[in-house]
């Protein structure tokens, strides 16, 4: 950050000149941002937050229950200017720890992760759940209103930017170890998570719940071939033939661990049907992230 130092208090002309230069610098920065010029180290842009400016940003529970993480509602601005609504659940353990990005299924919203995100926070993970563009509260791109029913494959691929903004947000949080950030996705969110992680080497590991071979042009086999040797956990129900077959197919591309749950169900609905699923994922995260 460039600091401009003023002259002596008695030199009003010099102070006015300095003040003018400050406004010029600010104007240049605004123009650069509007043109999409970025620094060499990307940073997330938080354009809205429900946390008061004078509130100390320390991990804490709610006033009613200190063992439940109170989510911080934020709005992230992606590199292509989409306003992505997200909920950040800070870890309840007062020490630096890992982070998790949560991606929901097509047609759903970040709220489907609320229960598990709170469990992650209790276990020492800082979790951010995003509304993918066109879903939930993430419907604005400048003056344009986003309608996912009109998305083509190019627009679907741009959802990569939504997870990228969440990843940058986590890396900037003091309580997050930036080298220990994982991605977890459900259904379409699983395909998007591997698509993102395959191009972002800083993602330490992924958990895919009910992925498919292809979702709106996001091919998991191609993405897995680029993901290489990082750890992965793939979860599917035995009676979900599409996801269970995809899981077995992906395991041939890597050393991914596959867990098949005996029964039916897809995505985050599996948490309600299989009590052991939360513990299974946490045990895997603790071992790999």
Per-residue model confidence as pLDDT tens digits over 29-82? 434 434 443 333 455 678 777 764 444 444 456 555 666 778 999 999 999 999
In this prediction, residue 229 has a pLDDT band, given cuts at 50, 70 and 90, of confident
Counted domains in the chain: 2
Residue 18 and residue 79 share a domain: no
15 and 60 belong to one structural domain: no
Looking at the fold, whether 62 and 17 belong to one and the same domain comes out as no
Q: What is the pLDDT of residues 192-217, one digit of tens each?
A: 999 999 999 999 999 999 999 999 99
24 with 167, same domain: the answer is: no
Total number of residues shown for the chain = 289
Whether residues 106 and 143 share a domain: the answer is yes
Q: What's the CATH number where 233 sits?
A: 3.40.50.1820
Q: Identify whether residues 32 and 149 lie together within a single domain.
A: no
Same domain? 79 vs 23 = no
97 and 175 share one domain = yes
Q: Which residues contact 116 (CB under 8 A, 6 or more apart)?
A: 102, 268, 271, 278, 281
pTM to 2 decimal places: 0.81
Q: Return the pLDDT at 228.
A: 82
Q: Which helix (H) or strand (E) holds 160?
A: helix 160-171
Q: How many CA atoms lie within 13 A of 250 on its CB side?
A: 38
User: Comparing 25-29, 48-52, 96-100, 242-246, which segment has the lowest mean pLDDT?
Assistant: 25-29
Which among 70, 88, 171 is positioned nearest to 127, based on CA atoms? 88
Strands 82-89 vs 140-141: parallel, antiparallel or unpaired: antiparallel
**Is the confidence at residue 23, as pLDDT, over 50?**
no
Whether 70 contacts 122, CB under 8 Å: no
Clarify whether residues 48 and 24 are in a common domain. no
Range of the domain at 23: 1-37
Same-domain status, 12 and 81:
no
What distance in Å separates the CA atoms of residue 167 and residue 169, rounded to the nearest whole number? 5
Question: Same structural domain for residues 102 and 185?
Answer: yes
- % pLDDT > 90, the chain: 72
Specify whether 74 is located in the same domain as 99: yes
Looking at residue 1, its pLDDT comes to: 35
């Amino acid at each position: 950050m460039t600091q401009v130092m003023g002259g002596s208090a008695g030199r009003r002309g010099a102070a006015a000149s300095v003040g003018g230069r400050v406004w010029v610098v600010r104007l240049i920065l605004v123009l650069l941002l509007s043109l999409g010029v970025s620094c060499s180290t990307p940073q997330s842009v938080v354009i809205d937050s429900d946390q008061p400016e004078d509130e100390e940003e320390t991990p804490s529970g709610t006033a009613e229950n200190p063992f439940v993480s109170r989510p911080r509602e934020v709005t992230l601005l992606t590199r292509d200017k989409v306003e992505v609504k997200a909920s950040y659940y800070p870890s309840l353990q007062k020490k630096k720890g890992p982070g998790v990005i949560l991606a929901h299924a097509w047609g759903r919203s970040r709220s489907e992760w609320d229960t598990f995100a709170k469990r992650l926070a209790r276990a020492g993970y800082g979790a951010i759940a995003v509304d993918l563009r066109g879903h939930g509260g993430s419907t604005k791109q400048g003056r344009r209103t986003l309608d996912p029913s009109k998305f083509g494959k190019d627009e679907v691929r741009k959802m990569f930017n939504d997870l990228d903004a969440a990843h940058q947000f986590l890396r900037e949080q003091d309580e997050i170890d930036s080298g220990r950030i994982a991605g977890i996705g459900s259904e379409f969110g699983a395909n998007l998570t591997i698509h993102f992680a395959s191009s972002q080497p800083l993602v330490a590991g992924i958990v895919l719940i009910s992925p498919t071979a292809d979702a709106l042009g996001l091919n998991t086999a191609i993405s897995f071939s680029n993901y290489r040797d990082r750890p992965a956990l793939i979860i599917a129900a035995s009676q979900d033939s599409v996801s269970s077959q995809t899981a077995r197919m992906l395991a041939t591309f890597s050393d991914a661990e596959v867990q098949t749950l005996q029964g039916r169900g897809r995505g985050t609905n599996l948490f309600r049907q299989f009590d052991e699923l939360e513990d299974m994922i946490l045990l895997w995260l603790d071992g790999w992230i």
